Structure formats: C-alpha cells, structure tokens
A and B are shown apart, each in its own frame.
Chain A
C-alpha cells in the first residue's frame, strides 16, 4: 500500500495532524505546518514531473499510478487511487494553496486546533482528488466539508455562527443528493449484478447505466456537486461563508474546495453519464449562465471586500461548470484551466484581503483608500490579482476564459451562441467591479488617518503572496504546458459515447 506515491497525499496531512497534537508551542506548530506543506508541494511537483515523464515514455492508460486495495469486500468498496493530468493539476493547486495558507495563518489564535482542522480539510481535499472509487471519493468529499463548520464558527468573523451553519447545511444538502445518485450509479454500474463496482474507470468501461437511469441520476449528481461549485440557485452559502471565514480557510475553500464541485461534475456526473449530460446540459447551462452574470453583477454592488470576491467566485466558478457543459475538448480544457486559474487567483485575493483586514480592521471599501501609498506590496499584489481576474493577457485568467469562450463558440446553434455571448459579457462586468475596488481602495485619497501608520507585509505574508503570484503568472505565460498536461486526459470514450 505504501509503495504507491499517491497515498502519501493523504498520509502527510494525517502525519501533520498527529504532529500538531504533539507540539508544545507555536514555533513547533509553525515548523510542522511549514515542513508538511512544503513536503506536499514538493511531492506534487515531483508527481507532475514523473507523470510527464511516463506520458512521454508512451504510457497511454487513462489514469496512471492506479492501485486498488480492498476495503469492504462484500460491498465491492475499494480504496482505489489513480491520477490523470487533471487530477495532478488539482493536486498541485491544492498543495500550493495549503502552502500559502499555512503562511497566511502565521499569527492565528489557538493555532494547534486551527491547523488540525485545516489539515483534516486538506486530507479530504487531497483524498478526493486521488480517488477513483466513488465511495472513497464521496467519503473524502464529506471529510473536507465538516471542518469548515468549526473553522468558520470558531475562528471566523462577523455573523460566523449563521454563516457556518448555512454553509455546512447547504453543502451537506448537496451531498445528500450526491449520495443517492452515487448509490444509484453503483447499482447500475454493470450489467451483471455480481460485477457491480464503485470504480470510475470500470463503470465508464462497462457503460451499463441505461439512458432512463442516467436521466434520473445525472441531475442529482450534477446538482450535488454543483452546490459546492456555487451553481445558481444553490450558491447562497458561498458569499456568507467566505465573508465570515478566516483567511486561510477562505483561501482553501474558494481556491480548492469549490473546485471539488467542478471536478466532481466533470469526473463523475459527465464522465459516467455522458448521454444524460448531453441531453440535459441545456438546463444546467441556463443555471450556470445565470451564475456567471448574476455573480458578476452582485459583486458590483457589494462594499465588503470579501463579499465582492465571493460573488466574483460565484461568477468564475459558474464559468467552470458552464464550460464543462459545452462538452467539447476546447471548452473543457478551458474549464480545467479556469479551475486552476480561479483557485490561485482567488486564494491570492483572499490572502490579501485577510492581510489588509488584519491591519485596517475593516473590509468596507468606503472606509478605506489610498492603501497603495501605505502598503505598496499588498497594493501591488491586489492589482495583480485584479488583473488576473478581469483577464489581462499574461496572467492566468485570460488564458482560461479565452479557451472557454472559443470552445463555447464552436457550437453553432442559437441557444449556445446566445448563452456564450451572455456569459462573455461578464468579463466586462468583472472589469467594472475590479477597477472600482482597485481605484477606491488603492488609489483614492486616504480615508482614515489612522491607516497612515500601518505597516506593509511581513516576510511570511510576502512569501504567501509571492507563491501565489508566481503561480498565476506561470499559467498565464506557459499555457501550452498546462494545456498539454490536461489535454491528454480527455479520454476519447467520453465523446465517443455521445457520438461527438
């Protein structure tokens, strides 16, 4: 079991959990957090290099590093792992954000328990991305959800009890639908009832789910994951949750956890039930189209920095689901790029907002101004994040959104065209709210004289910020690399099954 590299993505966070338990003071806790998250980052980069090496050497299996260990034999439940380019991209994203998040929480209260819950959350996230067994995937998915309740409830700000409860209940509500559809998939996973399986690859290869059952199971599955992907009208947990969460949690949640939704929609709902996905895509296209535009408009009228960014996340994550539903290679590649891009960029946003809030003790943009003069480092970081968000070439947002809209426009019919254009318009609205905030917050006159005495970023904050900025720029400058990483994984069967 321990010879498989993937399992260490779960073992390292668990070891860190144990490590925090033994720590005596804050220094040791920080040390464990830094060492552990660096190890995760190193591991994911090594995995990337090794994966590309294997692909270059001619490995053609859809998933590499596959392994399966029996767990509950009578129910055919295995602990099955395996990754393709998309999972690796997600693993790298998660480890970058865990790394940056550890530094962003340098001064948190009650650090031991904070990091323990944070790492439990990370365990769930990493476990989800390496699993190819529906049961373990779902288990890790839920493991990632529940620590949010305590992280927001205990360490959050504002209306934290309300937000934490709302977030948890809505996400668990989604997972109720999800659970039913996963069990349904299991019972239709093979034509022969003794061959039932939870393994995604085997289910896809069997292709035994009849069209009627797909119609029944697909909406539940898509909505189940879609709740976490902040799909309209199930997005309402997201602004409240993000606004009240502590910095690292917002980063991890908007950066990684919301990607679980998109990834799940893609990997489970679309991949296993392609026929229903093709036929029912229009319903969800409408909903995600609304998410994209509605999120952007909502962000325009907010005055709380975190709310602005949370609604912006609704819009951007809506774009991910929107692109997945286009069901063609270009748009789907764009969707994965958007996941990466939005994950990094929004984490950067939330990190900076947390740092600014830690100094000014307000997140209301009407009460702040001229921060560029006072804290130039944070200011520049914010501008970069903003530019990535509104899609400036050279940064990640441009690459992702460009690919998505090119892909969407490949559909020649009226319905898709209209929705593509509508979704496209969100780019303009994004520019409005980003520039409004940047202008007001960073370049306007100083609103509060007390702010003049504030200091710029400390070294750990700089480290956290720079890591994210470098990653955002890397995607923007080397899109081909990421595209080639992702592209191979669009296994032909998916499209073959629906006759494309």
Chain B
C-alpha cells in the first residue's frame, strides 16, 4: 500500500489532530484549565484554518483506489467552510463559557469537529460508501449538539425530530443506492456513470428520486424541510447558526458532485426537471412561511430554506459558471447569515429574547447590533452594495448561461420570490428602525468575542462583493477551462 496517499487527506488528518488535541485537553487538563477550553479550541481551529489555506492543497489527487478525491476546488470549499466554522466558534465563545455549559465545554467542540470531518468526507467522496460514512458522521453528532440545552424542553424535542428525520433520510438515500447498485454493480461515481450509459431505466428514475430526496433532507429542500423550523428553534443559537450555513454549504457541494459525476448524462432527461420542481417549491414555500414567523430563529430557518433554493440554481446550471457562483454564494451566505445569528445570539445570551417584537426599537438602544442586523438582512435580500447582491446576481447569471427558455422562467420565478423575501427581511428592519413602540431591550454591551464575530461578518458583507478578489479567486479554480459552459469542464473543475 502506498502510504503517501494519506498526504492527499492532509486537511482531514489535520482536522483529526485538532479534534484529538481538543479531546486530550478536555480529558486530561486540570479543572482550572478547563475554563480556557473555548479559547484553546477556537485558537487551535483558527491556526488550522490558516494552515489549511497555506498548505491544504495537495493538487489534484485521487487516493484509495479512487474512493477519495481532492482538488483545488474541493480544498477551496473546505476552506470556505472552515472560515464559517471559525466565525461560529468565535461567536459561541460566550455561550460555551456560560455557567450552564461548565461541565461539557469540550464536548461541543468535539462533536462539532466530528461533524465537520464528516462534511469533508462528503465533499471528497467519490464512492457512495465513503459518502455515506461522511453523511452519517455529519448528521448523527449534530443531534447531540441540538440537544445541548439539556434543561430546555424544545432542545430535546428538536434533537429527537432531527434524529428521526436524519435516520429516515439516510434510509431513503440507501434505498436509492441499492437500486443504483442493482443497476450498475458498482458504487464508484465514475463507474456508475460509465455503466449507466445513456439509457433511461425506470428504476434509475426512482433511484435518482431517492438519492435526491436523501440529500434534500440535509439541505432542507421543500418538501423535505419539515424538521428545519423546529430544530432551528429548539437548538442552541450557536448550533443553529452552524446548521444553517456549514452543513448546508457542504451538502450543496456534495449534491452537485453526486449529480454531475454519477448521473451527469441524465441531466436534461431526468434530474434537471426534478431540480426545477424542487427549486420552485423550496424558494416559494420557504418564503411564504417565513412571512408569518414571529420567532427570529424560526424566521431565519425559513429564510435559509429559501436560500438553499437559490444555492440550487448553481447546481441546475450544470456548468463551471454554476459551480463558481454557487461557491461564491455559499461564502457570502455564510457571512450574511452568521451576522444575523450573531446578533440573535448576542441578544439571546444577554436577555433571553428571541421574538421579532422584542426587536422593536432596537436601533435606539443598541445601534450597532441593529446596524449589523440590517446589513445582514439587506445582504440576504440581495440589496447592493452588499455582498448578497453580487452573489444573487452571479448565481442568476450562471443559471441563465445554461440558455434554455425554461431556465429563464425558473429564474423569473426565483426573482419574483426575492421580492417576497425582501418583504420579510424588511419586516425585521422595520421592527428595529421604524416601529414606534418602546424599545424592549435595554442598552447593553455584548461580549468582545461576539463583537469580534460581528465585525468579521459585517466587513465580509461589505467587502466580499465590492472587492473583486474573492470572486476572482474562486473563478481562478476553473482557470484554464476554455469553455466554461460544458459539463466536461465542470467535471474537470470538481476534479
């Protein structure tokens, strides 16, 4: 066996090292030192993030008989996720350091790092078994994280709901896999594509539907979204923010890889139309339900459902443009959504309030929090000059580059939905800035970690769009592809 192929997994291995260090620290350090678990883990993860930017890219390598694949694009999406996780960790420091968490600080980080490891595997897997291991290790520990507030009833309820749906969706996914295996006799993505050829078997359509719904659960696409709102509401805010951006980003990328690599030939015949239906449903229903929410976390749950629909536009484009703009969208979405969750978390930690009516008049008592929240809302709604505008524009642009008239209609529906989303995002702005009622939340000074997290997010919201560096770097991943609108080049870019 060639042991050098482990080097291809250097990001995963480094992540495991971080995990082990946190675990050892948590297990063997004296009680006094445990108070510093949060800072220790955050700093360690920060170092890992930097290192992963600097040395994480082994180039395009296929390891373990083609089960594991890495490339500049895979490394880039992992790095994007790392940045998001780092912000989540910074924002959650105060919560972790709270009285309530004192006996299980380390566990939060351990569970989180394990799920991240699972997502890494999902991204790099080129064999369905490896993918399944990634999927499971990304899902099951999350249930424990959701149940972290063990004194809160909602937290338990959310954990059970999440657990059941996650297991159920895995079962559905595996059912689809077994059909695929029955058809082709292999679980390698590339082999599947070769074996399937161009013939449409009815069994294949069913298998694809199962596979799509299995991953759809992870991405909380409608109609597989029913767990989302309850889980988002019940989970501790730090866990919710992790849920909403990181696990979504990883799943979206993995989804693209599976669809393109294993089932790429059936794009226009089978799954393009499935995705159309899913996208329209996801965006529309996510938006319509978001309008009526009064709890901020539920509100963002539905908002993130509809955002997942927009992310899927990058998949449905099925070309390198789509992939680039999807990665860019995920990056921007991480910053915008984490800014919103940062404000919610800061207010919840201070006052325990999470209702939208509690935000009335927030601009008078806590102008900076209100300002950050407003920027987050504008960015999520796609208002220039904030980053969300650019990411939305680029993803629509990428979708249309596919060129059929059907995609124009799809994009038009998505665009009309942005108006609906603007309405409910503006409701938050209205509560904070316009509502004449007395402020519900007294002036307070948030913890320095929370402020640091918000500063990072706000500067991201402002800079990610206007400064061309970020999009250019993502685009550079596909450099050398002369015609970015073919599926072959998309495959080349994924690696």
A residues lining the B interface (CB < 8 Å): 71-75, 135, 139-140, 142-143, 146, 149-150, 153-154, 160-161, 164-165, 168-169, 172-173, 176-177, 179-180, 183-184, 186-187, 193, 216
Contact = CB atoms under 8 A, between A and B. Distances in A.
Most-contacted residue by chain A among B378, B384, B418, B429 (CB, 10 A): B384
A172 B389 contact: no
B416 A161 contact: no
A146 B418 contact: no
Contacts of A75: 394, 397
A401 to B, nearest CB: 35
Contacts of B403: 187
A376 B123 CA distance: 75
A305 B78 CA distance: 60
B393 interface: yes
Given A149-B429, A187-B401, A135 B419 contact: no
B472 A73 contact: yes
B487 interface: no
A142 B383 contact: yes
A75 B397 CA distance: 9
A179 B426 CA distance: 20
B416 A173 contact: yes
A372 B270 CA distance: 75
Contact of B472 (A72, A140, A176, A180): A72
Given A154-B434, A173-B416, A183 B396 contact: yes
B422 A172 contact: yes
Contacts of A139: 384-385, 389
Given A146-B383, A150-B434, A180-B400, 4 more contacts: A72-B468, A73-B472, A165-B423, A187-B401
B397 A143 contact: no
Contacts of B423: 165, 169
B475 interface: yes
Interface stretch (B154-162, B306-314, B407-415): B407-415
B397 A183 contact: yes
Contact of B400 (A73, A143, A161, A187): A187
Given A169-B419, A172-B418, A161 B472 contact: no
Q: Determine the interface band of chain B, counting residues with CB < 8 A from chain A.
A: 20 to 34
Contacts of A216: 408
Contacts of B397: 75, 183, 186
B156 to A, nearest CB: 39
Nearest to B325: A75
Given A75-B397, A165-B426, A179-B396, A143 B384 contact: yes
A176 B419 contact: yes
Interface of B: 324, 378, 383-385, 389, 393-394, 396-397, 400-401, 403, 408, 411-412, 415-416, 418-419, 422-423, 426, 429-430, 433-434, 468, 471-472, 475, 485
A73 B422 CA distance: 29
B433 A154 contact: yes
A193 to B, nearest CB: 8
Given A72-B471, A139-B385, A176-B416, A150 B433 contact: yes
B384 A153 contact: no
A143 B396 CA distance: 19
Contacts, number: 80
Given A71-B468, A75-B394, A180 B412 contact: yes
The 9 closest A-B pairs by CB, nearest first: A176-B415, A153-B434, A74-B475, A139-B384, A173-B419, A142-B384, A146-B383, A183-B400, A143-B384
A149 B418 CA distance: 16
A71 B396 CA distance: 18
A216 B401 CA distance: 16
Contacts of A142: 383-384, 389
14 contacts: A72-B394, A75-B394, A139-B385, A146-B383, A161-B430, A164-B434, A165-B426, A168-B422, A176-B415, A177-B412, A180-B415, A183-B396, A183-B400, A184-B408
Given A73-B472, A179-B415, A150 B422 contact: no
A232 to B, nearest CB: 20
B430 A153 contact: yes
B309 to A, nearest CB: 15
Nearest to A174: B419
B383 A135 contact: no
Contact of A146 (B378, B415, B416, B468): B378
A139 B415 CA distance: 15
Contact of A161 (B383, B401, B434): B434
Contacts of A176: 412, 415-416, 418-419
A160 B415 CA distance: 26
Contacts of B415: 176-177, 179-180
Contacts of A187: 400-401, 403
Nearest to A173: B419
A153 B429 CA distance: 10
A89 B424 CA distance: 38
Contacts of A146: 378, 383
Nearest to B401: A187
Contacts of A72: 394, 468, 471-472
Nearest to B415: A176
Nearest to B399: A183
A183 B403 CA distance: 11
Contacts of A143: 384-385
A435 B485 CA distance: 62
A164 B430 CA distance: 10
Given A72-B471, A75-B397, A150-B433, A172 B408 contact: no
Given A135-B393, A169-B423, A176-B415, A150 B400 contact: no
Contact of B411 (A173, A180, A193): A180
Most-contacted residue by chain B among A180, A186, A193 (CB, 10 A): A180
Nearest to B385: A143
A173 to B, nearest CB: 5
A168 B424 CA distance: 12
Most-contacted residue by chain A among B408, B418, B434 (CB, 10 A): B434
Contacts of B433: 150, 153-154
